[in-house]
Amino acid sequence: MRTLILVLAVCVVLAAAQRGQGNRGQGNNNNNGNGNEDESKGGRLLELPKLDLCLSRPKQWQFGNHWYFFSWDQDHPKLKGRKVDWLEARNQCRLRCMDAVGMETKQENDMIFEFVRSRNLSYIWTSGRLCDFKGCDEREDLKPISVLGWFWSNTNTKMAPTNRPPPNWGYQPWSDKGHTGGPQPDNAEFDINQTSESCMGVLNNIYNDGVKWHDIACYHKKPFVCEDSDLLLNYVRSQNPGVNL
């Protein structure tokens, strides 16, 4: 298990770096004030948390023992009313000892679906990610990746197989519709212009399908929900004994 986590963690960083390079052209017409900085380094990495941002992280609502917030609502220039790509969404959360939300349980997914529905949001990013980068190809247990290759990057845990409802959920969170008609994940943009749909978002009725999971190319810009990261909170606690996060 530990090896899996390390492999995934390293791979996500590598993938992030590759993605940043691949997206160079896109940063120029993005007004987030961050793209150029990332590109001058020739790649993009996962951020580590900052103590002050962890201490002041928005605690908009609680579920279980985690705090959550919706980026759009927050009174911070990097968050308020912004749409960002998938990695930037994760990084804005990670700076705050959080990560993009991962719905490992039916209860947590119901909570997120209800949030999206009640706010009439068109879409949000989650931490869902396809293991389609360096190191994934050697993992026989992740094949075929469209079925077995999806994981929650916030907790580095595998998702259930995508081709049937997760055990005991009672419904299929992946949409049965999409750009080319068929069920998700469908990697539809790859067929159009070879851009893989490697990231997972919740879309609200974009394909007349209700609130559902979709695989989406990671460069698309969306608001996001952050969720406390035990890993990052414990890391910052270990560096700052006695701190109350």
Ligand X SMILES: *[C@@H]1O[C@H](CO)[C@@H](O)[C@H](O)[C@H]1NC(C)=O
Instruction: Point out which residues bind Ca ion (CB under 5 A).
Output: 178, 186, 188, 197, 214-215
Output phi, psi for 185, to 5 deg. -75, 140
Instruction: List residues bridging with 38 in a β-sheet.
Output: none
Cα 133 to Cα 142: distance, rounded to the nearest angstrom: 12
Output phi, psi for 81, to 5 deg. 60, 20
Amino acid identity, position 225: V
The alpha helices in 60-207, defined as continuous H runs, are 86-94, 106-118, 145-148, 188-193
Which among 67-75, 95-103, 189-197, 207-215 is the span making contact with ligand X, rule CB under 6 A? 189-197
Q: Which is closer to ligand X, CB of 56 or CB of 122? A: 122
The footprint of ligand X on residues 118-137 (CB under 6 A) is 120, 122
- 62 belongs to the binding site for ligand X (CB under 6 A): no
**Shortest Cβ distance from residue 206 to ligand X (Å)?**
9
- 105 belongs to the binding site for ligand X (CB under 6 A): no
**Shortest Cβ distance from residue 122 to ligand X (Å)?**
6
Which among 7-15, 157-165, 191-199, 234-242 is the span making contact with ligand X, rule CB under 6 A? 191-199
Size of the site for ligand X (CB under 6 A): 6
Q: Which of 10, 48, 51, 192 binds ligand X (CB under 6 A)?
A: 192
Q: Which is closer to ligand X, CB of 206 or CB of 231? A: 206
In sequence order, what DSSP letters do the residues of 121-156 get, joined into one string?
Answer: -SEEEEEEEE--STTTTT-GGG-SHHHH-EEETTTT
- Under a CB-based contact definition with an 8 Å cutoff, are residues 68 and 225 in contact? yes
Query: Residues interacting with ligand X, by CB under 6 A?
Result: 120, 122, 189, 192-193, 195
